[in-house]
Copies of this chain bind each other. A is one copy, B any other.
Amino acid sequence: MTEHTVRAFTEELEALSADIARMGGLAEQALTDAVTAIARRDASIAKTVIEGDIKIDDLQREIERKIMRLLALRQPMGRDLRQTVAALKLAADLERIGDLAKNVAKRALTIQEFDPIALTKSVERMGKLAAVQLKQVLDAFVTHELAGAIDVWKNDEELDEHYNSLFRELLTYMMEDPRMIGPGAHLLFVAKNIERIGDHCTNIAEVIHYLETGEDLGSDRPKAVETSASQIPSPPAMDTPK
């Protein structure tokens, strides 16, 4: 390769990283806004998130096209190859985060009329925790700081525990008042979506680790035990009239 080619190639890889960072910024905004939409029952913010998701999708397609061109024309090797394949994975994770945020926003519209404020306080807290995770892992990507990525990977357990306690809490509300079953079911999915966003953040952390070291982060991530039967709270006695 001539010096010129090498420089052009480096620039292309940098442009790719910039695209990923931009996509990350959009996903982060979508998550923050979706959580706000849930917390404040704000239909206009929810609609912004729903309509904005297409920008994230378009960016993913653009990134994929660039990657295919890069693989075909530049035939990268070593770290360059890792960086190219990592971009493909990161774009896929960010697209899913955008999608999950959009779904949260849709459910914000759905529960609007129900107004179960108490139900959404914990959801909001969990959403903010996920937003911190996402911000931190995106920072780690931009700064190449492995420590930040490893932190995110380790902290996902906290989000899982949050989800488990939220699951119990929502079920309790639903058992106390059948009118809460509809919105409660939607909020269960909102909580699940946020928990999934956390999983994608750990995926991103793993990709960053692989990118920077060439090694897998390993599959022994500490993980809260999945919500199980023992965690279904008992319903209040409803067989006899209250």
Contact = CB atoms under 8 A, between A and B. Distances in A.
- Measured as residues with beta carbon below 8 angstroms from the partner, the interface class of chain A is 35 or more
Contact of A241 (B177, B216, B241): B241
B181 A175 contact: yes
A233 B182 contact: yes
A241 B238 CA distance: 9
Contacts of A232: 110, 182-183, 185-186
A57 interface: yes
Nearest to A65: B216
A226 interface: yes
Nearest to A174: B181
A192 interface: yes
A109 interface: yes
Interface of A: 57, 61, 67-68, 71-72, 75, 77-78, 81-82, 85, 88-89, 92, 103, 106, 109-114, 167, 170-171, 174-175, 177-179, 181-183, 185-186, 188-189, 192, 216, 219, 226-229, 232-233, 235-236, 238, 241-242
